[in-house]
Amino acid sequence: MLYDNRIAAAFLEGRPVTEEKHFYLLQEYKEADPKRRDIVQELDSQLESIVEEFPTFNKELFEAVFPNYREQLETVCIMAVVGTKENRIVKSEEGLCILIDLIHIADYTRILSQMTYIMQNYITLVITKLCIRHRYPLSTHHYLDMLDDMTFTHGLANWLAWNRNCKEYKFQDDRYEPHKEKAFGMLAQAITIENKALQHTVLHKALHSDFWNQFTAVAGMFYFDDIYRDLGKEGIVLLYRHGPKNFIQTIFHE
C-alpha cells in the first residue's frame, strides 16, 4: 500500500490545502482549526506506521486468508487528510484512495490509543473487503445472493478488524448472546422474504443501521468466530475458499 500525507502536511505547515493536487477528492471541504495541528501531527505519524506495518490486526490469519494481498493492494493509497466530510474510499487519477480524516478520528475520543485503534479497525475493515471483492466480485443483484455476499463479506471483514488478536475475542461471553440471537433470528427471517419492496428495505437497513442492527455483518462475524473456536485458522481459510455462494445455508445447516 502507498501512503500520501500531502494534504495533512499542508495543514500542518500552514499552507493552503486547496492548492494540493488531490484537494478535489475532499467532499464538502471545511477549513480545519489550526489549534488541532498537534493531534493531526501525532495521528499522521501513527497512520504512517499502521500502513507500513499492515496488517496490524490478526496478521498471521490475514496473510493465510489473503496470501496475495500485497500484489492486490500495490496501488491502493491511504491518504491522510483534514477538512473532508467523512472517511471514505474514492477513485483518484492514480487509482483507489482511502481517505482518513485525522480530525474526524480525533473527534471520537481524547485517548490516543483509542484513536489508533479506530484507524486500525477502519483500515483493516476496508482492506479486507477489497481483498474479498478481488476474489469474489459481486456479479448478481439477486436478493438471496446479495444476502449471502453481505453476510460473508461484512462478517469476515468485521471479524478480522474487531481487534488485534482473534484468540482474545470474547464473543462467547454472555453479554454478546442477545446480539447473536437477534442477528441470526433476523437473518433467518430475511431469507424468507419474497416481496421485492420489502427485500430492498431489508438490504438497505442491513447496510445502514447502527452496527448491532446490521444483522448480516453481525451474524457473519459471529459465525466466523464460531468456526475459529471449533477449527482454528484452517477452518477460517476453508470457509473463505468456499466463498459467499450459499453462505447463509452453510450457517443454518452446517
pLDDT digits (tens, 9 = 90+) for 205-214: 999 999 999 9
Whether 187 contacts 248, CB under 8 Å? yes
Give SS3 for 55.
coil
Q: Tell me whether strands 77-81 and 88-91 are parallel, antiparallel or unpaired.
A: unpaired
Q: What percentage of residues in the chain have a pLDDT greater than 70? A: 100
Looking at residues 75-92, what average pLDDT do you find? 94
What mean pLDDT comes out for the span 241-251?
96
Q: What is the pTM of this model?
A: 0.95
What are the strands of the beta sheet with 2-4, ordered from one edge?
A: 2-4, 77-81, 96-101, 88-91
Predicted pLDDT at 85: 86
Per-residue pLDDT band at 71 (split at 50, 70, 90): very high
SS3 (DSSP) at 15: coil
pLDDT digits (tens, 9 = 90+) for 98-119: 999 999 999 999 999 999 999 9
Contact status, residue 160 vs residue 127, Cβ threshold 8 Å: no
pLDDT for res 254 = 56
Higher pLDDT, 59 or 254: 59
**Percent residues over pLDDT 90 in the chain:** 95
Count Cα atoms within 13 angstroms, Cβ side, for 58: 28
Q: Residue 94: its pLDDT value, please?
A: 84
What does the pLDDT look like over 213-238, one tens digit per residue?
A: 999 999 999 999 999 999 999 999 99
Conformational region of residue 58, where left means phi above 0, alpha means psi within -120 to 50, and beta covers everything else: left
Measured in degrees and rounded to the nearest 5, phi and psi for residue 231 equal -125, -5
Quote the CA–CA distance of 94 and 178 in Å, as a whole number. 45
Confidence of residue 140 (pLDDT cuts 50, 70, 90): confident
Give the model's pLDDT for residue 141: 85
Amino acid at 38: D
Whose cell is 451474524? That residue is: 219
Q: Cell for 163?
A: 481487534
User: What is the pLDDT averaged over residues 25-53?
Assistant: 97
